[in-house]
């Protein structure tokens, strides 16, 4: 039986995270047994220039800024080469909204990667970028996605969803695409056979009802298209780290994660975000409904150093999974298992 919105709000407001975690864990176990997956991939941020200037973002620069950059195709290919050398199977290319590049720039980027590295899966561009590309080119979202798909784009990451409630978005990212736009890009992508993930960023001062509204929108679209492979959430935490060190809250994140597994009963994979929450909370997500820990995040210098450092990273991930009493497995973008540990 499916949870109602009212029940969802109750769980988020007054549910015991441990009880919810156990319920979510039982569902995870039924679906995936004792296996926890991760992927070896690399994030490539082709530009930090962005016209959106979201209030929670520390990455963007104005075009005229001194440290603004735009990678050349050669630089991007070099990064993909390093990813392949390190045993990666996927690249996630994302960037700011750089004015006036033209869709041909992205098509050319995708084609070049696919020609040189046919085995690498290109899981790239958020809905925000897709909408911007289409607008700039003066074409429909569907035509834009089809052209990118033809050039080599395999699937879409779910970023840019933040909280899918316009009232919240207008406050934190007024220039970014609104809820209906994000959902429309995803629905269109799914329709042309391009699958995606979905994300959620909590801690913007949104209400529990707004969080459930977010989950409900994703659940409804998933009922319609079935195109979401996974759901990934993380927390936004401003300023409470003035004494240094790490984030302070684990409670809210764990409860929200468990509820996301319980509420979105039609999304197969729930990913715990160790990158944003720290390795320790990341490990705990495996007891609260999470079945995947995402990427080992090949860092620039780690990739360059290749070999050893990269193995360390996989070992660390495997340790983290085994430490939770689970079996670790490397997966591809479509969640097929390609190597067990």
Interacting residues with other proteins (CB under 8 A): 14, 16-19, 21-23, 25, 240-241, 243-254, 277-281, 283-284, 287-288, 319-320, 323-325
Which of these, 10, 11, 32, 1, lies nearest to 289 by C-alpha position?
32
Which of these, 294, 292, 297, 287, lies nearest to 268 by C-alpha position?
292
Which of these, 133, 129, 113, lies nearest to 121 by C-alpha position?
113
CA 118 – CA 114 distance, rounded (Å) = 5
Q: Nearer Cβ to other proteins, position 23 or 195?
A: 23
Q: Nearer Cβ to other proteins, position 123 or 326?
A: 326
Contact status, residue 79 vs residue 92, Cβ threshold 8 Å: no
Q: Nearer Cβ to other proteins, position 138 or 251?
A: 251
Angle at 122 between CA 112 and CA 195, to 5 degrees: 140
Q: Nearer Cβ to other proteins, position 28 or 269?
A: 28
Least distance between other proteins and beta carbon 87 (Å) = 23
Q: Nearer Cβ to other proteins, position 221 or 257?
A: 257
Which of these, 134, 196, 135, lies nearest to 161 by C-alpha position?
196
Structure tokens at 56: 């929670």
Least distance between other proteins and beta carbon 18 (Å) = 5
Least distance between other proteins and beta carbon 280 (Å) = 4
Q: For residue 35, what are the β-bridge partners?
A: 327
- The secondary structure element, H or E, covering residue 94 is strand 90-94
Q: Nearer Cβ to other proteins, position 19 or 31?
A: 19
CA 260 – CA 21 distance, rounded (Å) = 10
Least distance between other proteins and beta carbon 79 (Å) = 29
Q: Nearer Cβ to other proteins, position 25 or 173?
A: 25
Least distance between other proteins and beta carbon 105 (Å) = 41
Three-state DSSP class for residue 3: coil
Which of these, 27, 69, 61, 98, lies nearest to 263 by C-alpha position?
27
Q: Nearer Cβ to other proteins, position 188 or 273?
A: 273
CA 74 – CA 91 distance, rounded (Å) = 15
CA 246 – CA 46 distance, rounded (Å) = 28
Least distance between other proteins and beta carbon 286 (Å) = 8
């Amino acid at each position: 039986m499916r949870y109602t919105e009212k029940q969802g709000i109750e769980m988020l407001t007054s549910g015991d995270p441990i009880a919810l975690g156990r319920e979510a864990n039982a569902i995870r176990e039924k679906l995936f047994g004792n296996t926890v997956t991760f992927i070896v991939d690399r994030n490539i941020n082709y530009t930090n220039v962005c016209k959106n200037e979201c209030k929670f973002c520390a990455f963007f620069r104005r075009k005229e800024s001194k440290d603004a950059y735009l990678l050349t195709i050669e630089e991007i290919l070099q990064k993909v080469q390093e990813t392949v050398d390190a045993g990666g199977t996927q690249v996630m290319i994302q960037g700011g909204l750089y004015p006036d590049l033209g869709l041909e720039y992205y098509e050319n980027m995708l084609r070049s990667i696919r020609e040189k590295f046919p085995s690498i899966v290109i899981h790239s561009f958020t809905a925000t970028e897709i909408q911007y590309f289409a607008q700039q080119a003066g074409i429909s979202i569907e035509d834009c996605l089809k052209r990118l798909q033809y050039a080599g784009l395999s699937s879409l990451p779910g970023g840019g969803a933040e909280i899918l409630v316009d009232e919240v978005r207008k406050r934190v990212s007024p220039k970014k695409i609104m809820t209906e736009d994000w959902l429309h890009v995803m629905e269109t992508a799914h329709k042309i056979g391009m699958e995606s993930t979905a994300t959620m960023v909590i801690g913007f001062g949104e209400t529990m009802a707004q969080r459930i509204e977010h989950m409900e929108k994703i659940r409804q679209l998933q009922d319609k298209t079935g195109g979401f492979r996974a759901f990934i959430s993380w927390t936004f935490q401003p300023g409470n780290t003035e004494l240094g060190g790490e984030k302070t809250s684990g409670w809210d994140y764990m409860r929200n994660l468990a509820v996301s597994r319980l509420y979105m009963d039609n999304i197969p994979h729930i990913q715990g975000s160790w990158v944003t929450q720290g390795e320790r909370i990341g490990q705990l997500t495996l007891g609260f409904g999470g079945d995947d820990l995402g990427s080992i995040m090949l860092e620039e210098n780690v990739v360059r150093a290749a070999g050893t450092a990269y193995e360390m990273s996989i070992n660390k991930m495997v340790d983290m999974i085994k430490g939770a009493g689970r079996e670790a497995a490397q997966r591809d973008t479509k969640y097929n298992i390609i190597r067990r540990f």
